[in-house]
Structure 1
């Protein structure tokens, strides 16, 4: 009886050990594949991946390396806006003036946004007219409107946005200013982030622990309407829902968000790059890595 019990225990131990080893090997194998895909591409890269239902299933590559945030900082702006709305400091349907005059954080001097540098043009046709907070938020995320972003940051306050990120556990992301503050840029005063911090933010969004369930659903809906889909979304099966925010400036190409696979399942993926002059190569690699992770996730389910 004792012998049979010992044999059964040994079999169970070996089975569990092999299962864990297989899982561990799979993670390591995937990480090697990711790194191999980036070989030969000039630049510095960071990747963060996490299963939204299993924190043990994650990959972190250079996750604490600091990057220029580019437009990924617009997700924190969105969160701060919805936080204020939840606290009844404002109503998302309240009116706000479409203006194009902002103060540099360096010396308070005024600057304006250039329509040619903005991915969204329509707001410039309506300067000095009113729109809603929601409309600005939608354009800021889906079409990455810089003008909408600056209007919202000017209203909400960059420091308040950063403080909210700290409250969420995103300890490194810094929202210092709006877009095109060239005086600040020349002095090295730029918004910055890490892959880990963006992972933390989207983890809150994925679990519905951000602000309120209603606000969470609304923010995810906006993020799912993203029109720039040449990185995380590019090679996923058609129709795969992805709530994400891209970001790019010269030699910087980012994407960060949640890939939903159905039935409250999915994962968070953050891809950051800098010092990367070959935009096409980076976009292609990020799309390939996204598909690798998607296939791996579905194999492990």
Structure 2
């Protein structure tokens, strides 16, 4: 983002016809907005991530906005972008193949791919803020069967704030729902 600039990234997305995708902040900017202050640039993202569920975390700033002042997309626009990447229509075929390769390396597989049979490739990216859980990617249901899928969710983290058990139960229920949807899609599209 620093190299290309926000304006250039947004212009590129809009030139692709993806006017519902907006990029305005780096991940550090998002954390800084949530924490209400600039973080030490040497501080690891894993340390910052631990603070996202702290009581003092701001949930009324840009990081939680659904508008174009935040890094946002509609599920339809994200699914369209993924389909374009799969078809090699973003930049060029080699760049799209590299993007898919990176997405296939995702280590957090407890959402859409949760209940897929072992070894089913799923090129995806998760997104998480307190009260937000997302997953979007390309499900390889078979050699000739691929599905672009995006799920975005919001939940009331304030309702379980301070109760780790209820928070974990809620997160587990959301992830399980994602996994059931992923399995339904796989079953519907596998040859």
Please give the per-residue CA displacement for 1:77-125, whole angstroms capped at 9, x wherever unaligned.
xxxxxxxxxxxxxxxxxxxxxxxxxxxxxxxxxxxxxxxxxxxxxxxxx
Bigger Cα Rg: 1
Identify the residue that residue 186 of structure 1 maps to in structure 2.
61
Identify the residue that residue 81 of structure 2 maps to in structure 1.
201
Alpha-carbon offset, residue 276 of structure 1: 4.6
Identify the residue that residue 128 of structure 2 maps to in structure 1.
248
Q: Larger strand proportion, structure 1 or 2?
A: 1
Identify the residue that residue 146 of structure 2 maps to in structure 1.
266
What 5-or-longer segments of structure 1 have no aligned partner?
1-152
Structure with greater contact order relative to length (CA < 8 Å, sep ≥ 6): 1
* Cα pair 2:75 2:151 within 8 Å, conserved: yes
Identify the residue that residue 136 of structure 1 maps to in structure 2.
none
Partner SS state of residue 181, structure 1: helix
Identify the residue that residue 44 of structure 2 maps to in structure 1.
none
Output the CA distance in 2 between the equivalents of 1:176 and 1:245: 19
* Cα pair 2:113 2:122 within 8 Å, conserved: yes
Q: TM-score normalized by structure 1?
A: 0.46
Partner SS state of residue 193, structure 1: coil
Identify the residue that residue 154 of structure 1 maps to in structure 2.
2
Q: How does 1:29-44 map onto structure 2 within 5 Å?
A: none
* Cα pair 1:162 1:174 within 8 Å, conserved: yes
Identify the residue that residue 167 of structure 1 maps to in structure 2.
15
Identify the residue that residue 282 of structure 1 maps to in structure 2.
174
Alpha-carbon offset, residue 214 of structure 1: 1.1
How many residues get paired?
A: 147
How much is the aligned-residue C-alpha RMSD, in angstroms? 1.8
What 5-or-longer segments of structure 2 have no aligned partner?
38-59, 158-169
